[in-house]
C-alpha cells in the first residue's frame, strides 16, 4: 500500500472475507481486489512455481500480485507476459487489473542489501560468464581469479553476492537458467555501425584491425555474433542472405580503428555490419572455428555470447532461444 500511495493510488487492506488482501480504487472506476503472494527472491529458475501460485487465487475474480525483496529481469518479463502484477521492494511496482495498468518506479521499501545484489560490477559479469561457459564444472575462488586475472578477494565477494541471490549453488555451480537471464539483463555492449566490412586476407588494414584469423581458437580477435552466428550454429533463425553481420572486438582502440578504416554507416538501414565492444574478454579469446562443419570463414563467438545477444530482443530473440539447443560440446543455459 505504501508503494501504491507513492503514486497517488488509493489502496487499503481488505477488511472482510469477501475482499482481497489489498483493495485498489480505480479513479472514476471500480475497485479491484488483489491477492498477494510474497517471496524473498523471484528468478527465472523458480518463476514457473510463482506463476502457479499466482494463477490459483482464493477468489476467482481477484487479480494476483507477487511482492518480493528482489525480482530478476527475466522473472519480471515472464510475469508481464502472464498479465500478473508484482512489486520489487527495491523500487518498482506493476499492477494489472480491469481498467488499471501501473508500471512505475516507487520508493525502495528495503534498505541497502549488498549481499543480495546478484551481479556485482564488472567482476560479477565476468564471473557469471565464466561459470556459464562450463556450467557443470566446479570452480574455486583461486581458479576463477586466475582465469579472470582478478584478485581472489574480488571473486569471493562476487560469489557471495551470487549465492545470496540464489544464482549459484553451494558448490559454486550456476543456477540455470536464472544466472543466464540475470546476466542478459546486464549485457549492454557499446556498438558502432559500419559502412563496409573487412575482407579476410593478408591486407594491411586487416592486421591493423586485429581480426585474428590465424589459429582462431587460441588467439584473440573478431568474433561473429547475433543472428548470423546463431544461424551457423543451427538455431531456428530466418534471415536474408545479405543480413548485416555483427562482430565483437576486444577493445576500444580496435573499435575506433574499425570505424576509421571501414567507415561509419550513414543510416542504420544502410549498415553493412556492426562492431560491438566485448563486455568480457572471453568473448574474443574463446572463439569457435566453424570451418570444419560449415562454409563460414569468420570465427564465431561462443554460443553463450550469441544467446546473450539474442536475449536482448524480448520477442523474436527469445523465441529463437526457446527453440535452440546448441550441439555438444556447448551447453544450453537459457
- Model pLDDT for residues 173-214, shown as the tens digit of each residue: 999 998 999 999 899 999 999 999 998 877 777 788 999 998
pLDDT digits (tens, 9 = 90+) for 68-78: 888 988 889 98
- What lies within 8 Å, CB to CB, of 315 at 6+ separation is none
Q: How far is CA 114 from the centre of its chain?
A: 20
Integer Cα distance of 40 and 89 in angstroms: 10
Q: Before 197, cis peptide (omega within 30)?
A: no
Looking at per-residue pLDDT, the higher value among 149 and 42 belongs to: 149
Contact between 301 and 229 (Cβ < 8 Å): yes
pLDDT, tens only, 224-279: 999 999 999 999 998 988 899 999 999 999 999 999 999 999 998 999 999 999 99
pLDDT of residue 1: 58
By mean pLDDT, which of 47-61, 134-148, 149-163 is the weakest? Answer: 47-61
**Is 0.75 surpassed by the pTM of this model?**
no
| DSSP code at position 115 | G
Confidence at residue 113, expressed as pLDDT on a 0 to 100 scale? 44
Measuring CA to CA, how many Å separate 53 from each of 45, 46, 79, 105, 221? 15, 11, 12, 25, 48
User: What CATH class does 2-105 carry?
Assistant: alpha beta
CATH 3.40.1350 domain range(s) in the chain = 2-105
Q: What is the pLDDT of residues 288-321, one digit of tens each?
A: 999 999 999 999 999 999 999 999 987 888 899 9
What share of the chain has pLDDT > 90, as a percent? 57
- Position 15 pLDDT exceeds 70: no
On average, the pLDDT of the chain sits at: 88
Q: What are phi and psi of 304, to 5 degrees?
A: -55, -45
Evaluate whether 68 touches 50 at the Cβ level (below 8 Å).
no
> What does the CA dihedral 83, 21, 70, 93 come to, rounded to 10 degrees?
60
| Nearest-angstrom CA–CA distance, 247 and 3 | 43
Sign of CA dihedral 297, 302, 307, 310: negative
Nearest C-alpha neighbor of 181 from the set 303, 326, 318, 18? 318
Residue 212 CA to residue 220 CA, distance in Å, equals 6
What pLDDT is stored for residue 116 in this prediction? 46
pLDDT of res. 57: 52
pLDDT of residue 17: 65
Of 214 and 126, the one with more pLDDT = 126
**pLDDT at 258 (0 to 100):** 96
- CA–chain centroid gap for 310, Å, is 9
Per the document, the length of the chain is: 334
| Average pLDDT estimate for 87-108 | 89
Q: What are phi and psi of 181, to 5 degrees?
A: -70, -30
What is the per-residue pLDDT for 23? 87
**pLDDT at residue 114 greater than cutoff 60:** no
Contacts with 332 (C-beta within 8 Å, 6 or more apart), sequence order: 324, 325, 326
Dist. CA 25–CA 239, nearest whole Å: 48
Amino acid at each position: 500500500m505504501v508503494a501504491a500511495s507513492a503514486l497517488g493510488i488509493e489502496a487499503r487492506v481488505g477488511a472482510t472475507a469477501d475482499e482481497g488482501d489489498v483493495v485498489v480504487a480505480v479513479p472514476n472506476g471500480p475497485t479491484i481486489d488483489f491477492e498477494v503472494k510474497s517471496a524473498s527472491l523471484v528468478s527465472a529458475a523458480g518463476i514457473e512455481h510463482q506463476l502457479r501460485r499466482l494463477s490459483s487465487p482464493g477468489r476467482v475474480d481477484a487479480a494476483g500480485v507477487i511482492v518480493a525483496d528482489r525480482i530478476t529481469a527475466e522473472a519480471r518479463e515472464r510475469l508481464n507476459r502472464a498479465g500478473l502484477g508484482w512489486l520489487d521492494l527495491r523500487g518498482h511496482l506493476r499492477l494489472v487489473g480491469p481498467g488499471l495498468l501501473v508500471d512505475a518506479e516507487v520508493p525502495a521499501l528495503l534498505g541497502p542489501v549488498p549481499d543480495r545484489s546478484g551481479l556485482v560490477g564488472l567482476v560479477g559479469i565476468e564471473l557469471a560468464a565464466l561459470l556459464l561457459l562450463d556450467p557443470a564444472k566446479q570452480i574455486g575462488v583461486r581458479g576463477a581469479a586466475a582465469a579472470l586475472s582478478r584478485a581472489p578477494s574480488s571473486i569471493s565477494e562476487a560469489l557471495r553476492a551470487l549465492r545470496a541471490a540464489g544464482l549459484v549453488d553451494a558448490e559454486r555451480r550456476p543456477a540455470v537458467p536464472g544466472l543466464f537471464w540475470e546476466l542478459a539483463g546486464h549485457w549492454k555492449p557499446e556498438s558502432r555501425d559500419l559502412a563496409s566490412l573487412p575482407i579476410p586476407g593478408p591486407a594491411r588494414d586487416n592486421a591493423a584491425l586485429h581480426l585474428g584469423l590465424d589459429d582462431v581458437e587460441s588467439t584473440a580477435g573478431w568474433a561473429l555474433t547475433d543472428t548470423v552466428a546463431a544461424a551457423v550454429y543451427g538455431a531456428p533463425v530466418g534471415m536474408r542472405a545479405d543480413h548485416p553481420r555483427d562482430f565483437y572486438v576486444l577493445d576500444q582502440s580496435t573499435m575506433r580503428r574499425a570505424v576509421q578504416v571501414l567507415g561509419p554507416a550513414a543510416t542504420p538501414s544502410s549498415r553493412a555490419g556492426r562492431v560491438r565492444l566485448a563486455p568480457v574478454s572471453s568473448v574474443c579469446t574463446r572463439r569457435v572455428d566453424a570451418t570444419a562443419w560449415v562454409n563460414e570463414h569468420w570465427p564465431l563467438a561462443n554460443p553463450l555470447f550469441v544467446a546473450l545477444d539474442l536475449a536482448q530482443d524480448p520477442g523474436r530473440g527469445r523465441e529463437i532461444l526457446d527453440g535452440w539447443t546448441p550441439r555438444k560440446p556447448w551447453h544450453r543455459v537459457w
